[in-house]
Amino acid sequence: MGLGLETILVFALFALLYAGLIRGRARRWALLGASALAVFWLQPWLPLRYADFILPSLTLVLTIAGWWVTRKRGEEVQPVRREDWAALGVVMAAALLMGMNRFLAPDLRLTPSRPPGPPLWLTIIAIAALILTLIAWQLRRGRQKALLLGGVFLILALFVVLKTPALTEALARWWRGLTGQDQTLASAGDLRWLGFSYVSFRLIHTLRDRQSGLLPELGLAEYVTYVVFFPAFIAGPIDRAERFQKDWLALPDMQGVSAARLGEGAMRILTGMFKKFVIADTLAMGMALTPALAQQTHHALALWGLLYGYAFRLYFDFAGYTDIAIGVGLMLGVRLPENFKRPYLSQDITSFWQRWHITLSNWVRFYLFSPLTRALLRRKPRPSPTLILFLGLMATMIAIGLWHGITWTFFVWGAWHGLGLFIHKQWSDRTRKWYRELAKHPWRKRAWSVMAWFLTFQFVALGWVWFLLPDLSLAIRTFLRLFGF
Amino acid sequence: MKIWKPLLFLIIPTLALMLVACAGGASGDPAQTVERYLQAKVEGHEQTVRSLLCSEMEANTFQEVNAFTSVSGAHIEGMKCQWIEGSDVVTCEGKIVATYGAEETEFPLAAYRVVKEDGEWKWCGETAPPQ
């Protein structure tokens, strides 16, 4: 289904009905039910038989398992509350409801293709029950730490498989073998598991924060809604559980139809739609670089124009999605975090990463950069602070690159930014005094600001060459052609 | 709120869906499948073409989806399909009209093979009309 106009309209209508008709604690159940249903509804059609039903089911199974593993376990384990059983019932009923689409005529279905029959449903339920039973058994033996760590590794392993084209293709081939489909047609695109990237970030966040004791106690309804909250399911932002919990707890007291809240939400949705469907989609019509245009365009100036077009297209597309998600969230009573703060106006690359995909940057800083640099600091003999910074920045940015796909071009894109951040840090450390002096000369400072902005934007735009082009040799050729070679 | 109440959000639509399911044919009608397929092919609607194409024809997906992408104004006129009960053939009347440059070309609709995969009818290419 994806996030097209039809989807946005459904989201907005649901938000209006929710605000107008649903009261008190029922709001939480409505959000849970809608989010669980949306996991199936939003999943696009996949060529692998039943994959577009099984993958959303797995999302819910992983989420429930995540909750089970991250429950607070002190000296006395709290029994599962009745609300948690009810939440499990709602999630299972949502999956069943979508599975029942099998018995509907194709035009009436909410699922992208015909869901599997009851034997496969029962198999999925049996596997889920087995996983939860194994987790419960291990928890009773006091192995929560091992389970938390195992959970992180499991998600990372799934991530590697799904983001490595060769592995995804092999998995698709295996799947086709099971369902009797033509194995020679297997491709990496066969397994587009919608939302998994963002779901995995949220799951790892809860698993790691339970390890460190930072995670608040969450009910199953709260946990599942946090992980698969439908406005942010496709493209983020990546909220934090403790922040989400504040809004969740306030939902029953929320004023039903509040003109201010609905107005603000509607405005954000309209702004997002303008960014996405007017600006980004217009730029996409030949004004933004594509792999095909990169091969066909030989004039450096034209190539620069297309590259700038791509830079703006990417920003308006992604920022538009985020605005829509935040707008729908506001109408539902959940204020999702901001993800973009005019990133292309940044005057240095560090500031760019504080203003571009902010929730992702924060996530990797918290769960990768900080633990890694701390670990390096503890090493004996301790590496130099410059080396620690270099390794920390490179590893973090390369990880962000590989999150988009495990390919050489994303690797280079990550390394490009890692190196940029490192050089900027060295530069700013050595020019602090000069900067302070510059403040005394407003015109000189202004000229330097314009220069700094220009350089930063060029650096980011050049980085998009590695990000956009799927093939490293094409990326290098395009890069050189931009400079007239 | 009673604990069972949240489930009503989903129990009621599930029951409604069961009623709809019992009333309607889940596998769809072969003639309708062919009509939907041809319409999607003319419009270049990739997802519908892919979902209605039989496994045997999956290798031809690209050609099927892009059959009319380079022509203007492709549309179907007078489409009426009929399934020959008990067979795997759907015969259609009508034509696809497409404009190549300034020239209008007509493609009469023919007989098509349908197969049932996982209980659902799929379009599986052209076939000879029954004698």
Q: Are A37 and A7 in contact (CB under 8 A)?
A: no
Chosen domain end from A339, A359, A394 = A339
**Contact A56/B at CB under 8 A:** no
Q: Which of B4, B21, B58 comes nearest A103 by C-beta? A: B21
**Contact B60/A at CB under 8 A:** no
DSSP single-letter state for residue A103 = G
| Within-domain flag for A6 | no
Closest CA to A272 of A235, A305, A247: A235
Whether A241 and A346 map to the same domain: the answer is no
Residues of B in contact with A47 (CB under 8 A): 50, 58
> A with B: how many residue pairs have Cβ under 8 Å apart?
90
3-state secondary structure of B82: strand
Buried b (16+ CB within 10 A) or exposed e, A401-415: bbbebbbebbbbbbb
Which residues are CB-neighbours of A255 under 8 A, at least 6 positions away? A261
| Within-domain flag for B17 | no
| Within-domain flag for B1 | no
Whether A354 and A294 map to the same domain: the answer is no
Provide φ and ψ at B88, rounded to 5°: -110, 30
B1/A90 Cβ within 8 A: no
Buried b (16+ CB within 10 A) or exposed e, B51-88: bbbbbebbeeeeebbebbeebeebebeebebebeeeee
**Nearest-10 Cα torsion for A59, A62, A63, A67:** 180
pLDDT tens readout for residues B49-69: 988 999 888 888 888 888 888
Predicted local confidence at residue B103, as pLDDT? 82
Compute CA A85 distance to the chain's CA centroid, rounded to the nearest angstrom: 28
Residues of B in contact with A181 (CB under 8 A): 55, 58
Known catalytic residues of A? 404
Which residues are CB-neighbours of A62 under 8 A, at least 6 positions away? A155, A199, A203
d(CA A230, CA A329): 9
* Residue found under tokens 């130099």: A384
Count of all residues that appear for chain B in the document: 131
A82/B3 Cβ within 8 A: yes
Whether A223 and A81 map to the same domain: the answer is yes
Chosen domain end from A321, A339, A357 = A339
Closest CA to A36 of B6, B90, B84, B105: B6
3-state secondary structure of A284: coil
Q: Which of A94, A106, A117 comes nearest B10 by C-beta? A: A94
Tell me the β-bridge partners of B122. B115
Predicted local confidence at residue B19, as pLDDT? 59
Angle between helices A51-70 and A82-99 (to 10 degrees): 170
- The pLDDT profile of chain A, 485 residues, written as one tens digit per residue, is 567 888 999 999 999 999 888 888 899 999 999 999 999 999 998 989 899 999 999 999 999 999 999 988 766 667 788 999 999 999 999 998 899 888 887 778 888 888 998 888 888 888 888 988 998 888 888 888 899 999 999 999 999 999 999 999 999 999 999 988 889 989 988 999 999 999 999 999 999 999 998 999 999 999 999 999 999 999 889 999 999 999 999 999 888 778 888 999 999 999 999 999 999 999 999 899 999 999 999 899 999 999 999 999 999 999 999 999 999 999 999 999 999 999 999 999 999 999 999 999 999 999 999 999 999 999 888 889 999 999 999 999 999 999 999 999 999 999 999 999 999 999 999 988 888 888 888 898 899 999 999 999 999 999 999 999 999 999 999 999 999 88
d(CA B131, CA B121): 23
Instruction: Give the number of other Cβ atoms within 10 Å of residue A99's Cβ.
Output: 21
Is omega for the bond preceding A381 within 30 degrees of 0, making it cis?
A: yes
The structure tokens listed for A65 are 């398992």
Whether A167 and A233 map to the same domain: the answer is yes
Whether A310 and A389 map to the same domain: the answer is no
Residue A127 C-alpha, separation from nearest chain B C-alpha, in angstroms: 23
The structure tokens listed for A157 are 């392993």
Whether A278 and A375 map to the same domain: the answer is no
| Within-domain flag for A7 | no
Could you tell me the CATH number of the domain that includes residue B66?
A: 3.10.450.100
Whether A309 and A289 map to the same domain: the answer is yes
Predicted local confidence at residue A346, as pLDDT? 96
pLDDT band at B38 (very low <50, low <70, confident <90, very high): very high
Biggest distance spanned by C-alpha atoms of chain B: 69
Instruction: Give the number of other Cβ atoms within 10 Å of residue A437's Cβ.
Output: 12
Q: Three-class SS string for A193-243?
A: CCCHHHHHHHHHHHHHHHHCCCCCCCCHHHHHHHHHCHHHCCCCCCCCHHH
**Contact A219/B at CB under 8 A:** no
Angle between helices A26-41 and B5-23 (to 10 degrees): 40
d(CA A462, CA A358): 20
Residue A37 C-alpha, separation from nearest chain B C-alpha, in angstroms: 10
| Within-domain flag for A215 | yes
| Within-domain flag for A79 | yes
Closest CA to B34 of B82, B103, B68, B69: B82
Chosen domain end from A235, A254, A273 = A254
- Name which of A114, A175, A185 to mutate to probe chain B: the one with the most chain B Cβ atoms within 10 A of its Cβ: A114
Predicted local confidence at residue A1, as pLDDT? 58
| Within-domain flag for B10 | no
3-state secondary structure of B106: strand
3-state secondary structure of B115: strand
| Within-domain flag for A13 | no
d(CA A341, CA A454): 17
d(CA A158, CA A180): 24
Residues of B in contact with A119 (CB under 8 A): none
Whether A108 and A228 map to the same domain: the answer is yes
**Contact A81/B at CB under 8 A:** no
| Within-domain flag for A93 | yes
| Within-domain flag for B6 | no
3-state secondary structure of A166: helix
B55/A114 Cβ within 8 A: no
Pairing state between β B89-100 and B103-108: antiparallel
Q: Which domain holds residue B97?
A: 28-127
Whether A195 and A287 map to the same domain: the answer is no
B9/A33 Cβ within 8 A: yes
pLDDT band at B123 (very low <50, low <70, confident <90, very high): very high
Amino acid found at A471: D
The structure tokens listed for A283 are 């730029």
pTM higher than 0.90:
no
Q: Are A160 and A167 in contact (CB under 8 A)?
A: yes
Q: Which domain holds residue A284?
A: 255-339
Whether A36 and A110 map to the same domain: the answer is yes
| Within-domain flag for A117 | yes
Average pLDDT, chain B: 82
Number of domains in chain B: 1
Amino acid found at A312: F
Tell me the β-bridge partners of B96. B76, B107
Number of domains in chain A: 3
Whether A225 and A119 map to the same domain: the answer is yes
A83/B25 Cβ within 8 A: no
- Whether the ipTM is more than 0.95: the answer is no
Whether A46 and A163 map to the same domain: the answer is yes
Provide φ and ψ at A243, rounded to 5°: -75, -45
**Contact B17/A at CB under 8 A:** yes
